[in-house]
Structure 1
Amino acid sequence: MAFQHQALNSAEAELAELRRASAKVGGSDPVEALREIDCEPETVRDGATKVEAGADQEQDAGRTYAEATASADDNWDGDAAAAYLFDAGNLGADRRRRLAAAEDTAAAGQRIADGLDALARSSASQATAIAGEAASAVQTVLHPPTLPGGAPVTDPLVRQLHEQRMAEAAARVRRACAEIEDAVRRNVEQIAELGDALDGLTEPVASTPAVA
């Protein structure tokens, strides 16, 4: 299954040999580890952009409303005018609060999208760097060394050294996969911090009651 984030798709290709080697020695799957951080920041960014566009429209409507209220203030007198202007002032204040909340939500959405993008890219970069450091061990696991001509290892000492080398390579491959899992896990933990950007923005803005 393809990743949603392009950086993770690219990393998957670079992790192919480590993945094969790990499967041979009973290690974890480094590609599956990356799926924990897979995301689509553009979807979040698009949502924030729509909220921002709605805020712009609200701002235009608020400006028109303010102009109409000012005109009424200039051309209307008496108790009815005073009552209207009082309610109009409350409504205007509500509109401004809602506009500010929408603008804050849009900005928070953009920050979250940027943060998710950075975490996905960081996970991909860390994973490929770790795989690169284990490249020699990966090749040893995938292509075990043999004697010239492909003859089997029969000398006890040579066999012992061969088995030790293979065991060390296998351990190095497993460790690399575990390091990738740890790197991704640390980045996943930071997603909750991005969500904190929306704290206080999800409650509806209370309206000021009009005076009867």
Structure 2
Amino acid sequence: MTLELFEHPALTSTAARLASLRAAAGRIGAPDPVAVLRHLDCAPSAIRTSAAAVDAGSVVVTTAAAEFRTGVDLAETGGSAETFGTWADTVDGQYAEAARAAASTAALGLLIADRLDALAVSTATEVSAIAEAAQPAASAVLSDDRSAEVVSTVSGACASVVRTVQQKVASLSSLAAQLEPLTTPAVDLS
């Protein structure tokens, strides 16, 4: 058997623990307990890295906004200060909004990474326990025992893995609502 690799290390180690159950499932036509784990595969460390980059960008925008505001304050003492001031206030507001949006996006990225990480780890733990409980039956099936009891145990374990993953995936719907604001531009530059 080849080692099934996942982005999340807990799922990779769980896939290894499911090897026997997977092989038994294949022999009796039950759902593949390793394949279903793909629905929860994620790379929280990559999301955290991206969030950190966005956060660093928000700091740059905040610094640029402060420098811009200082320049505006100096320029507003000139002849056409009112027209320039109105334009500058608009740009300054856009800088501030972009910085807030970037910081908010970074914070949300960290939240998502933590939530996905926790879901992958808890799924790995639950699924590993299911596989461990079914190990004797899986071994029996792999030894060509097709008695109703062992086939039912293997089939039931695979169905339990599928239900566990489905429940975890369903719990992600609350994150979707938090992602909605990211689908529109943070700042209208027109």
1:34 corresponds to: 37
Rounded Cα–Cα distance in structure 1 between residues aligned with 2:35 and 2:164: 13
The alpha-carbon deviation at position 137 of structure 1 amounts to 2.0
Matched residue SS, 2:183: coil
1:17 corresponds to: 20
Matched, 1:190 2:171: yes
Matched, 1:181 2:162: yes
**Cα displacement string for residues 57-86 of structure 1 (whole angstroms, at most 9, x for unaligned residues):** 10111111122222334xx254x1222122
TM-score normalised to structure 2 length:
0.87
1:160 corresponds to: none
Rounded Cα–Cα distance in structure 1 between residues aligned with 2:159 and 2:27: 15
2:63 corresponds to: 60
Moved more, 39-48 or 7-16: 39-48
Matched, 1:138 2:141: no
1:206 corresponds to: 188
The alpha-carbon deviation at position 136 of structure 1 amounts to 2.7
2:93 corresponds to: 93
Rounded Cα–Cα distance in structure 1 between residues aligned with 2:183 and 2:141: 52
Moved more, 17-26 or 28-37: 17-26
The structure that has the greater radius of gyration is 1
Rounded Cα–Cα distance in structure 2 between residues aligned with 1:9 and 1:77: 65
Size of the aligned set, in residue pairs, is: 186
Moved more, 83-92 or 167-176: 83-92
> Which consecutive residues of structure 2, in runs of 5 or more, have no partner in the other structure?
none
The alpha-carbon deviation at position 44 of structure 1 amounts to 2.2
| 1:112/1:195 contact within 8 Å kept | no
Matched, 1:171 2:152: yes
TM-score normalised to structure 1 length:
0.79
Rounded Cα–Cα distance in structure 1 between residues aligned with 2:156 and 2:11: 20
| 1:112/1:197 contact within 8 Å kept | no
Rounded Cα–Cα distance in structure 1 between residues aligned with 2:134 and 2:96: 57
The alpha-carbon deviation at position 9 of structure 1 amounts to 0.6
Rounded Cα–Cα distance in structure 1 between residues aligned with 2:72 and 2:27: 76
Matched residue SS, 1:29: coil
Q: CA RMSD in A?
A: 2.1
Amino acid at match of 2:157: A
**Cα displacement string for residues 150-194 of structure 1 (whole angstroms, at most 9, x for unaligned residues):** xxxxxxxxxxxxx8xx21111011100000011111112233332
Sequence identity percentage: 36
Rounded Cα–Cα distance in structure 2 between residues aligned with 1:125 and 1:179: 13
2:124 corresponds to: 124
Query: Cα 1:50–1:85, aligned 2, differ >3 Å: closer, same or farther?
Result: same
